[in-house]
Structure 1
Amino acid sequence: MTDIAWTEGTWTTKPARVEFAGDGMRVTAAEKSDAWRITSYGFIHNTEHALLAPFEQETAVEVSFHLDFSAQFDQAGIFVRVNEATWIKAGIEWSDGEESLGAVVTRGASDWSLSPVPGWEGRHVTVRASRSGDALTVRARVDDEPWRLVRVAPLETDAVVTAGPFCCAPSRDDLTVHFTSWRTAAVDVSLHPEAGAR
């Protein structure tokens, strides 16, 4: 794996505050920051704080952070963007009083999936997105536990794509996320572990 310097990325929306230290980057999200398009709610929000760099075919991107959420819809993870109407965010979101692992896939309009991850609070989360052929495969894990499949989503083979860490705070003004790494790696070999996926 190869580290990506925090300075290599460009923010989609600048956060309220960014601090760098030897152990990573701390990002304080602006209140009401979010990413969503239309479905069920009817609104379009494109104020996420996503730090993005080029994401090439047949590579993977990993983002790691400490999980410390407490307010409705606190969220962080990895953001993969083609344009303002085509993007994927995946990671941890605090929803209805618990941490959940999930993804939003947006192709004109957003969808949303979540699965509770009890016991992940206060631990180190890594989200990995692999781009291969016409698909984006997202996995996640806590500490050194096995990877979990989060989502397989379509992603055009020839699309110009960027990706990197993101966070949002739809319901408060004091969410600070401690990101510890942003890396690129070889693409996952296969979707299924028995066939060689890492």
Structure 2
Amino acid sequence: MMPVIGTAFGKRLSISLLRASIEQMRLRAIFRHPFRDRRRRPACRRVYNQAGLMVRIDGTRWVKAGIELSDGRAMLSSVLTDGRSDWATAPYEGDPKDFWMRASVADGVLRLQVSGDGKTWPLVRLAPFPVAESYLVGPMCCTPEREGLKVRFSDWKLTPPLNKPLHDLT
């Protein structure tokens, strides 16, 4: 594992990643931090808590994706950086405390998918991503505004790309 320290939107990130030439990874993340307080209100003060995966070439070319607490609810979130960063979000309708993420990089294209059961994998994002000899890949979690986030990662797999059609959700 290689420690990586960087920033995104002014927030400092510290993550340990594995160097791999294999172009697909999949993992399961289980949040042990409530998305709601005891009165069943959104835990808005925990904004930006996140867990998922990261694929990185270097400090200016990387993507992180997963579930992030934003605007008082769990969101599918991805930040793609290739010189400049963007941030894409959408409401996550599954259980945000237990989910799978999958990233595939092949022929200069990044495919991000999410699953609530590990069997059905709807598309989260399809984007150009630089071709590299190898990538730093691994689980990622972050709580940029406070401490106390606990996440358990499991079902970690690195495999060759699936080479499935875009709308094959298996």
Question: What's the TM-score bracket when you normalise by the shorter of the two chains?
Answer: 0.7 to 0.9
How much has 1:149 moved relative to structure 2?
A: 0.7
Residues 159-198 of structure 1 show CA distances to partners (whole Å, capped at 9, x for unaligned) of 432110011101211111111232112312134235xx63
Residue 123 of structure 2 corresponds to 149
How do residues 1-198 of structure 1 correspond to structure 2 at under 5 angstroms? 9-13=1-5, 35-37=7-9, 43=10, 45=11, 47-56=12-21, 59-69=23-33, 70=35, 71-122=46-97, 124-144=98-118, 146-194=120-168, 198=170
Change beyond 3 A, Cα 1:35–1:141: farther
Rounded Cα–Cα distance in structure 2 between residues aligned with 1:67 and 1:118: 15
Q: What percentage of residue pairs aligned between the two structures are identical?
A: 28
Query: TM-score, with normalisation over the residues of structure 1?
Result: 0.72
Q: C-alpha offsets along residues 128-178 of structure 1, whole Å, 9 cap, x if unaligned? A: 111211111111111245111111222222343211001110121111111
Residues 67-117 of structure 1: per-residue CA shift (max 9 Å, x gap): 344310000101111111111001110001110112110112210111111
Structure 1 residues 93 and 186 mapped into 2: Cα distance closer, same or farther (>3 Å)? same
Question: Aligned partners of 2:48, 2:69: CA distance in 1, in Å?
Answer: 5
C-alpha separation in 2, matches of 1:150 and 1:121: 15
Aligned length: 159
Please, which runs of 5 or more residues in structure 2 have no aligned partner? 36-45
Distance 2:135 2:151 in 1: 24
Native 8 Å contact 1:62 1:126 kept in 2 = yes
SS of residue paired to 1:48: strand
CA distance in structure 1 between the partners assigned to 2:68 and 2:20 by the alignment: 23
CA contact (8 A) 1:48 1:167 kept: no
Question: In the alignment, residue 192 of structure 1 is paired with which amino acid?
Answer: L
User: Quick one: structure 1 residues 98 and 189, their matched pair in 2 at CA, closer, same or farther if it must change by over 3 Å?
Assistant: same
Deviation at 1:118, TM superposition (A): 3.0
Partner SS state of residue 47, structure 2: coil
Check conservation: 1:48, 1:166, Cα contact below 8 A. Answer: no
Residue segments in structure 1 that go unaligned for 5+ positions in a row: 1-8, 14-33, 38-42
Shift, 1:12, TM fit: 1.5
For residue 2 of structure 2, what is the amino acid of its counterpart?
A: T
- The Cα RMSD (Å) is 2.1
